[in-house]
């Protein structure tokens, strides 16, 4: 049950990280959930309080969204009228 809870909260944290990051993020929902889970793991290693861990997790998710968006930003191409 802990894993299901981690995936659900990771999806919320990842979505909030994408919401607070300005600009278009070229990533799907699976990568958003993975970023949310990774940010919660990092925040859990730093803090053990639930609310503080959630807030720090969102901050870490914004940073991870910015970093991942940089790497995926160059791969996106726009199709021109063919």
| DSSP string of the chain, one letter each residue | -HHHHHHHHHHHHHHHHHHHS-S-----HHHHHHHHHHHHHHHHHH---HHHHHHHHHHHHHHHHHHHHHHHHTT--PPPP-
What does pLDDT average to over the chain? 84
Specify if 52 maps to a domain: yes
Task: Identify the pLDDT of residue 80.
Answer: 56
Domain encompassing residue 49:
2-20+28-70
Specify if 81 maps to a domain: no
List pLDDT tens digits, range 25-63: 778 889 989 999 999 999 989 888 878 889 999 999 999
Residue 73 has pLDDT above 70, yes or no: no
Specify if 79 maps to a domain: no
Task: Identify the pLDDT of residue 64.
Answer: 92
Q: What are the φ/ψ torsions at residue 76 (nearest 5 degrees)?
A: -80, 130
Task: Identify the pLDDT of residue 28.
Answer: 85
């Amino acid at each position: 049950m802990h894993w299901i809870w981690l995936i659900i909260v990771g999806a919320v944290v990842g979505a909030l990280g994408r919401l607070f990051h300005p600009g278009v993020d070229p990533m799907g929902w699976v990568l958003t959930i993975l970023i949310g889970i990774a940010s919660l793991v990092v925040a859990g290693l730093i803090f053990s309080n639930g609310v503080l861990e959630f807030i720090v997790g969102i901050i870490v998710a914004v940073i991870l969204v910015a970093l991942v968006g940089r790497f995926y930003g160059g791969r996106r191409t726009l199709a021109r009228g063919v």
